[in-house]
Structure 1
Amino acid sequence: MDIEAPIDIPWKSGAWTALPVSAEETDDGHLLVTAVEGSDAWRHTGYGFVHDDEHALLEAWDGTRAVEVSFIAGYDRQFDQAGIMIRADAEHWIKTGVEYADGALQIGAVVTDVKSDWSTAPVPEWAGLEVTVRATRLRDAVAVRARAGEEPWRLVRLAPLDPEAEVQAGPYCCAPSRPGLAVEFTSWKHTAPDADLH
């Protein structure tokens, strides 16, 4: 098997963790998803609550290839978000991508091992652009990179992940604070993994 060649993943191959309001494949093969108001993924830290009703379209990921998701969204309300979710179970998962928080577009990740750990960095220049997020399993970790358009990849997060863990991965979105968030997922694929962290 040529791990260098990208392989498109059909939308129908995944299963939803929680159903969105709608998910429709467009004529050009994209997936247009409308999130449920109040949907989110979070565990305990800082807020004292647990949310486990994100819209994640997942399939098994063995880590021999990277997983990449590209998307466009009109983020403009607190915590609008989209990207990739990597999930072992309800208490062990990573969500990473773009989120609107505190009045600005952010790239970041939430790494959850019973409790959630959140990191962000502002990317206001990414507003309205197609964003691609890529996750690569490297030994006992996941390296997450992202870019808008064809700009160079940026390292978003290096997060621990048990090398023996069986996980699922795929596109996700949430709309914790409003109805009507629509995310256009333009691709979901397996690609060549990062050779190393640097």
Structure 2
Amino acid sequence: MNDHRAIGWDEAAWLNPPLEARTDAEGLLVTTRDRSDFWRTTSYGFVRDDGHALLAPFPGFPGTGTGPGSGSGAVEVTFVADFDTLYDQAGLMIRVDAATWIKAGVEMSDGVPHLGAVVTHGRSDWSLAPVPEWKGREVTVRASRDGDAVTIRARCDAEPWRMVRLAPLAPEAEASAGPFCCSPERAGLRVRFTRFVQGPADASLHGDVEG
């Protein structure tokens, strides 16, 4: 993402402030509250909307605007965390409202870190793929919005990007995006976010991604 703009931690606003969030020379260190989560209904039968997300307008890159039908753009979030409890999770959230959102990143499941996404339009779905080799390493999640779609990619350190999800999002939807984390089974997950940037959308679904 060579043509990018860093988003200051103080430029974004918290949806559900965490137990603690402090900045230092290395980024933003976040500590989750007890049993925080984002989920709607499917299979589990409950609605949870108390996870932590630090959100800025998306698309918000200069020239794209921020209102309905505002065009295209991309956002990236980089983080590192030692996940050790079931459902510990962190990554990137795109949010329109309480019933319309996408979260993507790394989540602890069956004792192994997984790369995955939840897409919610009234009800949530969930997709996962194990990435045990990503444990304790720096992960970047990228969302590129163009037209009626959001393309989610992720990578560990400087490795090649992996395709995670192609999800629908109405072109006229006014959305925000940024880092998120939660810990549905406990309190005290600590996540260090080291990067939060916006830039141009991907040139194509299958083309090279800058950055």
Global fold match (TM > 0.5): yes
Query: 1:40: which partner in 2?
Result: 37
Q: Superposition pairs for residues 1-198 of structure 1, below 5 Å?
A: 5-28=3-26, 30-62=27-59, 64-198=72-206
Structure 2 unaligned residues grouped into runs of 5+: 60-70, 207-211
| Offset of residue 180 of structure 1 | 1.3
CA contact (8 A) 1:81 1:175 kept: yes
In 1, the alpha carbon distance for the partners of 2:2 and 2:107 equals 30
- For the residue of structure 2 that corresponds to 1:105, the secondary structure is strand
| Offset of residue 15 of structure 1 | 0.8
* C-alpha RMSD of matched pairs (Å): 1.1
| Offset of residue 149 of structure 1 | 0.3
Per the normalisation by structure 2, the TM-score is: 0.90
CA contact (8 A) 1:138 1:196 kept: no
CA contact (8 A) 1:21 1:36 kept: yes
- For the residue of structure 1 that corresponds to 2:126, the secondary structure is strand
Large movers: runs of 4+ above 3 Å: none
- For the residue of structure 2 that corresponds to 1:125, the secondary structure is helix
In 2, the alpha carbon distance for the partners of 1:108 and 1:163 equals 23
| Offset of residue 4 of structure 1 | 5.0
Per the normalisation by structure 1, the TM-score is: 0.96
In 1, the alpha carbon distance for the partners of 2:150 and 2:72 equals 12
| Offset of residue 104 of structure 1 | 1.1
Identity of counterpart residues, as a percentage? 56
